[in-house]
Structure formats: C-alpha cells, structure tokens
Structure 1
C-alpha cells in the first residue's frame, strides 16, 4: 500500500504501508508497532512516538519537528539511506547505536540518556542540543559541531573527535573521563 502527498492529522496509528512526501501533525504513535514501515520525505510535527517500535522501518529524509521520541531505538530501523532531521525534539532514552547519521541534523533537541555508541556522527551540527547523560563510546565525531551543545561528556580517548568544534565552558565535558578538577 502506498500513500503519497497525504496529510494525516491527529491520527492514533497507521496502516502498514509506504508513505511518500506525507505530513503528520499531532499524531499519537506511542507504543505503536511501526515495524517495516517506509517513510520517504515525510514530516512529523508535534507527534508522540514514545516507546514506538521501529524495527526494519525506513526513515529516508524524514523530519521530526517538536516531537516526543522517548525510548525509541532507531538502531532497530533500516539503516539503508537513513536520514533524520530532528528539530526541537525530546529524544530521551533513545538509541542510535551503530548508525551512520552523517547526513542527519539535530537542532534544539533534548538528547538525554541517548546511546550514540559506535555511531557515525561525522560532520553533524548539533545547535543548542542538550546531551545530559548521553553515551558516546567509539563514536565518530570528526568535524561535528558542538559549539552550542551542552552537558556532553565525551572521552577523547574512546571517541574520534578530529577537527570537531567545541566552545567553552561545555568543552570541559571532554575532561570528565579523567576525573580532574578545573577551576
């Protein structure tokens, strides 16, 4: 089944299908099984995806604006041509484990307790993102821009940060692993 150029407003679930260039506004997908769905050039605004299952789901050039994405394991989705654009989203307790997200964007997001282990975030800009308790382990952050990001704790010995951009005072989060006191 294919839906093209459709507007979905205040729906509480979807039919398993391919969605191409569709808009979703104020929809409730909390605890939904969206396994093996396909979203291409779609925009979600004000939607709730808390604890949604996205195993095998394709997100190709998908934008989330002002969405709640609590506990979503994006690492379960289809990695082929994966591109996510998150603006003003709450992504607490989510996972991007092992994903290549070089073409994705994160702006003004709460990324609290999010797992970025083994993810490739090279070249991504993270304007005004809050990384409180986020996990960075063997994460590629080459040329990433974290100048306006806050609350990150990134061990330079366990992550690749070549030519990444940081700003004071948040840059002190690069020293957390060394248990030193900066005054």
Structure 2
C-alpha cells in the first residue's frame, strides 16, 4: 500500500480545487480559508486541526475521512455527504448545513452550538459529549442516535423522531421536546427526569 501523502501547515487560502479527488491524503494545520472545495471527493483522508473559514464544500463527497479538531467557520456544507466519517472534536460556527447528508458518522465532542440542523436525517449518528446547546433539531430523524453526554441546554427537538435514541436525563430536561416521537424507555426516562411517578 502506498504511503499517505502528508501536507503540514500549508496555506490553501482562496484555492480553487473544484472537483478534486483525494485518496489517502493527510493534512495537518492547513488553512483552507475561502477555498473552493465544491464537488471535492475524498476517501480515507485525514484532516487534523485544519481551518475551514468560509470554505465551500457544496456537493462534496467524503468516505471514511476524518476531520479531527478542525474548525468550520461560516463554511458552506450544502448537499455535502459524509459516509463513515469522523468529525471528532471539530467545531461548526454559523455554517450552512441544509441538506447535509450524514451516514454512520461520528460527531463525538463536536461543537455544534446554535447549529441549524432542522429536518436532517441523523439516524444512528454518534453525538457523544457533543455540544448541541441551542441547536435547532426540529423534525430531525434521530432514531438510534447516540446523544449520551451531549450538551442539550436550550436545544430544540420538537417533533424530532427519537425512537431508539440514547439520551441522558439532563438532555431530556434541558431541551424542548414538544411533539417528539419517543419509545417507551425514553418516555419513562423523561417522566423520571421530570419528577413524575408512573404507576
């Protein structure tokens, strides 16, 4: 197997890389500010502590790629797809995430406070210990999602589908759940978290 091509500390500011295809590449502490990465294709790549400020990821596709402790600031992720990816410890600030497609993706420790995730299909996504404070998750499909340890203070989960999801008592108390669909286990946990007795 060929050795991964590593790029450390490179400045990709304003780079136009539309439709590029990267396989097995590694990027560390690189700056992609204002770069055009639309329609980018990555596979088995690793981005560590990279900066994506106003980066255009529209319609990009990523498979088995890791974004570790990266910062996405006002990035455009519209219609991008992440399949089997990891975003461990990455943060998202004022990003456009409409029609974002996530499959079997790990967002453990991700910072997504105030993120607009309305109506997204987030089935089975791992949000363990992620910051989702004040995030808008209304009408999301969160079936089988892992929200253990996630910060959900002020999060809007109204009309979300939480059947089979794992969520802590704190999350059930601190978030808005009007009209959310839950299974019996979560319903009982919600009752207990809010001091109700079920006989």
TM-score under structure 2 normalisation?
0.74
Q: Which runs of 4+ in 1 moved over 4 A?
A: 166-169
Q: 2:83 is paired with a residue of what secondary structure? A: helix
How far residue 8 of structure 1 moved from its aligned partner, in angstroms, is 1.5
How far residue 175 of structure 1 moved from its aligned partner, in angstroms, is 5.5
Determine the C-alpha separation between the residues in 1 that align with 2:128 and 2:42: 28
How far residue 50 of structure 1 moved from its aligned partner, in angstroms, is 1.1
Q: 2:156 is paired with a residue of what secondary structure? A: coil
Segments of structure 1 that go 5 or more residues without pairing to the other structure are 178-183
Residue matched to 2:65: 57
Residue matched to 1:38: 46
Determine the C-alpha separation between the residues in 1 that align with 2:47 and 2:118: 25
How far residue 152 of structure 1 moved from its aligned partner, in angstroms, is 4.1
Determine the C-alpha separation between the residues in 2 that align with 1:39 and 1:86: 15
Larger radius of gyration: 2
Aligned with residue 180 of structure 2, among 169, 174, 181: 174
Aligned-residue CA RMSD (Å): 2.8
How far residue 36 of structure 1 moved from its aligned partner, in angstroms, is 3.3
1:25-47 per-residue CA deviation (whole Å, 9 max, x = no partner) reads 11111112233332111110011
Q: How many residues align?
A: 176
Determine the C-alpha separation between the residues in 2 that align with 1:123 and 1:31: 30
Aligned with residue 159 of structure 2, among 140, 153, 157: 153
TM-score under structure 1 normalisation?
0.79
How far residue 68 of structure 1 moved from its aligned partner, in angstroms, is 1.0
CA contact (8 A) 1:70 1:91 kept: yes
